[in-house]
Structure 1
């Protein structure tokens, strides 16, 4: 629903080693971001590490660098971690 005004797509990603990302969002101009969804806000550290591992494996010459990396949580505060990963409580995304 959030990507529709931007004509974006949402896909999941999994590699042959079992690494996965819950959502990779791509918009029409080629910008993209990756998100992990965690009900438990205390799982944000592990989710951020997973996103950073994923990003390290992306061919940025071909796909560009991510515009955003985010962990969507069920509760808590929104903030930007020192590694650049955003922690986003789902309640900040609207009603």
Structure 2
């Protein structure tokens, strides 16, 4: 699958895992993927990443969750980037 799908799926997984903690709250979603940032911001994205985004927005509506997207430059997101690439020796 495309990286945008995988990154959006990571956001959906967080929503699913912490749904009870997110209910009735505002969530800030930080990402270094510009397509995912714009998709979350606009609540729309082209391609397969729309499927997890659709579920994110549905869960948000059903559980009174508001969220905003924030973009982080990859250079400022080094730890998360190394972990996602399983480059544990560089940590």
TM-score (norm 2): 0.33
Higher strand share: 1
Q: Which protein has greater RCO, CA pairs closer than 8 Å, 6+ apart?
A: 2
Higher helix share: 2
